[in-house]
């Protein structure tokens, strides 16, 4: 096995991202940032039976006097609710968690966002250690400090900026991840190449088979490089006043697709983003930015990774446009897109022409 990789995240509240196979059994690593004697493991009903006992055993072995509780929630985006957030708070209260307690968020982005938000709120902020078990969570949601829950009016409308104390990504957990979820994470990995790292795009092309086979070394390298990019961008722009918006490449279209389909059906987030990136590239072409050759390179790469590149049948362009107008980030300034200037370069463009959007 390969040695774990470490990505250091700077800024006001620096932390480290540890990436490698078997890290969930490393009690010394898991407890390295602990300040107190209370730990709450928050996980979902798919992930907890696979990994929660091991995490608990590793914590207990490293710090025998730790008071540990486990809180398990049903799996899925539909569970990222204020009610389940309240359940985490109740679990902290039952545990008697003090100001120096730590939440271990074990699972995908749903657990990370909800448990992270509970950590942001309990006693005005306690530690959270992110233990991401999906590729999407490892390369995206566990890094950067955004936490949130959904309400019926929209996704992620209630939340806080609350950076983790550490991120510990055990790549061995990705072996139990359904292949479709792995590919969804790879869409976000491709996104980093598209917006800031042309060389990474070529590397991804060359390592496609290894990545799809969940090869540890290939995945660790892809995760470390993705996290390095996300960390650098969020460090320079933690509150999304500028550059951080580039991370939304493919997401204006993607969010509209997800919202129009309903979150429980159709494409998952990564798939919607894959189509969204291609539509954003097409739109960029129409506006004289990306070349046709660049756009077809992106299309073939997404297809090689088994990701969709076409809108699902039955989704009407004007319905998607209406959704985009409602997007919380679009409201102040007309339709805002991250447009593409070819591999490794993207820019935020405001007031994008609606006719071109429909044409794309
Ligand atoms: P998820 O948490 O729902 O996980 C996907 C599915 O995989 C779930 O059914 C889960 O139970 C299962 N699963 C997780 N790990 C597993 C494993 N190792 N083995 C088997 N099954 C496993 O979804 P996700 O794609 O990880 O995250 C999506 C969420 O992340 C969304 O709510 C999105 O808003 C959020 N997000 C947040 C940020 C941020 O910056 N905070 C960024 C991107 C996405
Ligand atoms: Zn995304």
pLDDT tens for the chain, 360 residues long, are 568 999 999 988 999 999 999 999 999 999 999 999 999 999 999 999 999 999 999 999 999 999 999 999 999 999 999 999 999 999 999 999 999 999 999 999 999 999 999 999 999 999 999 999 999 999 999 999 999 999 998 889 999 999 999 999 999 999 999 999 999 999 999 999 999 999 999 999 999 999 999 999 999 999 999 999 999 999 999 888 889 999 999 999 999 999 898 866 789 999 999 999 999 999 999 999 999 999 999 999 999 999 999 998 889 999 999 999 887 665 666 899 999 999 999 999 999 999 999 999
H helices, E strands: number in the chain: 14, 11
Taking the domain 179-200+249-359, which CATH number applies? 1.20.1090.10
Give me the pLDDT at residue 327, please. 74
Distance 136 CA to ligand 1 centre (A): 6
pLDDT at 198: 98
Measuring from each residue's beta carbon to the nearest atom of ligand 1, which residues come in under 6 Å?
Answer: 44, 46-47, 50, 75-77, 80, 107-111, 113, 133-134, 136-137, 140-141, 144, 146, 155-156, 173, 176-177, 181, 184, 269
- Whole-number Å distance, alpha carbon 65 to ligand 2 midpoint, is 39
Determine the pLDDT at residue 219. Answer: 97
User: Is 244 a catalytic site residue?
Assistant: yes
Tell me what pLDDT residue 1 has. Answer: 53
Q: How far apart are CA 313 and CA 110, in angstroms?
A: 28
Residue 162, phi then psi, degrees to nearest 5: -150, 90
For this complex, say whether ipTM is above 0.95: yes
How far is 123 from 71, CA to CA, in rounded Å? 18
Number of Cβ atoms within 10 Å of the Cβ of 318: 9
Catalytic-role residue among 146, 165, 282, 299: 146
Q: CB neighbours of 290 closer than 8 A, spacing ≥ 6?
A: 281, 284, 339, 340, 341, 342
Closest C-alpha residue for ligand 1 atom 36: 141
Could you give the CA distance from residue 135 to residue 170 in angstroms, rounded to a whole number? 10
Active site annotation includes 248: yes
Q: Report whether 250 contacts 277 (CB < 8 A).
A: yes
Beta strand residue intervals within the chain, DSSP E: 5-9, 15-20, 38-44, 67-73, 102-107, 127-132, 146-151, 154-161, 166-170, 337-340, 346-349
The hierarchical CATH code for the domain 5-176 is 3.40.50.1970
Domain with CATH 1.20.1090.10 in the chain: 179-200+249-359
pTM: 0.96
The ranges of the chain annotated as CATH 3.40.50.1970 are: 5-176
Place of tokens 């006992």: 53
Set 38, 162, 269, 336: catalytic member: 269
pLDDT at position 154 is: 84
Residue whose CA is closest, atom 42 of ligand 1? 141
Task: Answer for the pair 270, 186: CB distance below 8 angstroms, yes or no.
Answer: yes
Query: How many Å lie between the centroid of ligand 1 and the Cα of residue 37?
Result: 28
List binding-site positions for NAD(+).
109-113, 133-134, 146, 155
Contacts of 12 (CB under 8 A, 6+ apart): 238
Protein residue with least CA distance to atom 30, ligand 1: 109
Please give the number of the atom of ligand 1 that sits closest to the Cα of 176. Answer: 19
End-to-end CA distance of the chain: 45
| Bridge pairing between strands 102-107 and 67-73 | unpaired
Q: Are strands 38-44 and 102-107 parallel, antiparallel or unpaired?
A: parallel
Q: Check if 38 is active-site.
A: no
pLDDT for 153: 84
Q: How far apart are CA 312 and CA 257, in angstroms?
A: 9
Query: From start to end of 46-204, where are the E strands?
Result: 67-73, 102-107, 127-132, 146-151, 154-161, 166-170
Strand, helix or coil for residue 54? helix
């Amino acid at each position: 096995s390969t040695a774990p990789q470490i990505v250091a995240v700077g800024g006001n509240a620096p932390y480290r991202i540890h990436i490698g196979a078997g890290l969930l059994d490393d009690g010394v690593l898991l407890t390295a940032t602990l300040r107190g004697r209370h730990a709450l493991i928050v996980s979902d009903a798919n992930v907890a039976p696979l990994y929660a006992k091991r995490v608990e055993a590793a914590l207990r072995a490293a710090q025998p006097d730790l008071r540990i509780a486990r809180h398990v929630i049903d799996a899925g985006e539909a569970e990222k609710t204020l009610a389940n957030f309240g359940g985490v708070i109740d679990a902290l209260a039952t545990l008697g968690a003090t100001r120096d307690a730590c939440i271990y968020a074990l699972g995908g982005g749903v657990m990370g966002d909800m448990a992270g938000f509970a950590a942001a709120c309990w006693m005005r902020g306690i530690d959270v250690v992110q233990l991401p078990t999906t590729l999407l969570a490892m390369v995206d949601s566990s890094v950067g400090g955004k936490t949130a829950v959904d309400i019926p009016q929209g996704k992620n409308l209630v939340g806080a900026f609350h950076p983790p104390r550490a991120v510990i990504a055990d790549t061995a957990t990705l072996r139990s991840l359904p292949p479709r979820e792995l590919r969804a994470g790879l869409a976000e990995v491709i996104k980093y190449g598209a917006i800031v790292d042309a060389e990474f795009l070529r590397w991804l092309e060359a390592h496609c088979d290894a990545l799809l086979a969940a090869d540890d070394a290939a995945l660790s390298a892809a995760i470390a490089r993705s996290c390095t990019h996300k960390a650098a961008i969020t460090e320079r722009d933690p509150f999304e006043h500028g550059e951080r918006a580039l991370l939304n490449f493919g997401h204006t279209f993607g969010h509209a697709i997800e919202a129009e389909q309903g979150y429980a059906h159709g494409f998952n987030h990564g798939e919607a983003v894959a189509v969204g990136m291609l539509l954003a590239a097409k739109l960029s072409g129409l506006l004289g930015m990306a070349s046709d050759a660049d756009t077809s390179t992106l299309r073939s790469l997404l297809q090689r990774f088994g990701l969709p590149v076409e809108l699902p049948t039955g989704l009407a362009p004007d319905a998607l446009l209406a959704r985009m107008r409602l997007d919380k980030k679009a409201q102040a300034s007309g339709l805002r897109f991250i447009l593409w200037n070819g591999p490794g370069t993207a820019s935020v463009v405001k007031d994008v022409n609606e006719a071109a959007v429909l044409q794309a």
